[in-house]
A and B are shown apart, each in its own frame.
Chain A
Amino acid sequence: TQLLEQSPQFLSIQEGENLTVYCNSSSVFSSLQWYRQEPGEGPVLLVTVVTGGEVKKLKRLTFQFGDARKDSSLHITAAQTGDTGLYLCARGSQGNLIFGKGTKLSVKP
């Protein structure tokens, strides 16, 4: 099984702080997707990264795909309460997705 390890599992911070969450695998993957899931809803895609070393920005969120395409990170600058949710990474596998277990982020006012 091509596992995706996400860390940390839980993160609780104050509004305005910066944070980074990680997604790692022992094997190379061709692409990686990041999703955010809010309570009571389904996951929603944030970004897809496909090229080693790629950096994508989405407002205060910065996504990086490792040079060796075995890891990815999500950095949030000046977190807001609206960033609270479960952040999931997912890799493609034979047309399907394999999800990590997620990082549950809580941003307190």
Chain B
Amino acid sequence: NAGVTQTPKFQVLKTGQSMTLQCAQDMNHNSMYWYRQDPGMGLRLIYYSASEGTTDKGEVPNGYNVSRLNKREFSLRLESAAPSQTSVYFCASRGEWSNQPQHFGDGTRLSIL
């Protein structure tokens, strides 16, 4: 029962470095999401993908890019990391209907020095 798998679990970067966060789901879900979670701010949507081949901006997209590589995989890229991007990043996926639950990975804890 893998569900949603995120890699890496932890990462420390220096300001200006780039990196890609990986996410894969094995539930054959069409919709996938990237959130960031900061203390006192709840979960905020960065980007989402309603289906393979489509991506859209969420609430806080600046400084990020995404790729929906195939139906299973949705990656998040930081081109030039900034300290303000220090956060916990969660990937989620959802089945066909909007009332269905989102299934979350266990997160990537990213620190940018």
Contact = CB atoms under 8 A, between A and B. Distances in A.
Interface of A: 9, 31, 33, 40-45, 48, 50, 88, 90, 92, 95-102
Contact of A95 (B4, B31, B44): B31
A42 B4 contact: yes
Contacts, number: 48
Say what secondary structure dominates the interface of chain B: strand
Interface of B: 4, 31, 33, 40-45, 48, 50, 58, 90, 92, 98-99, 101-102, 104-107
- Max chain A C-beta neighbours (<10 A), residue from B48, B58, B101: B101
A48 B105 contact: no
Nearest to B48: A96
Given A42-B92, A50-B99, A88 B33 contact: no
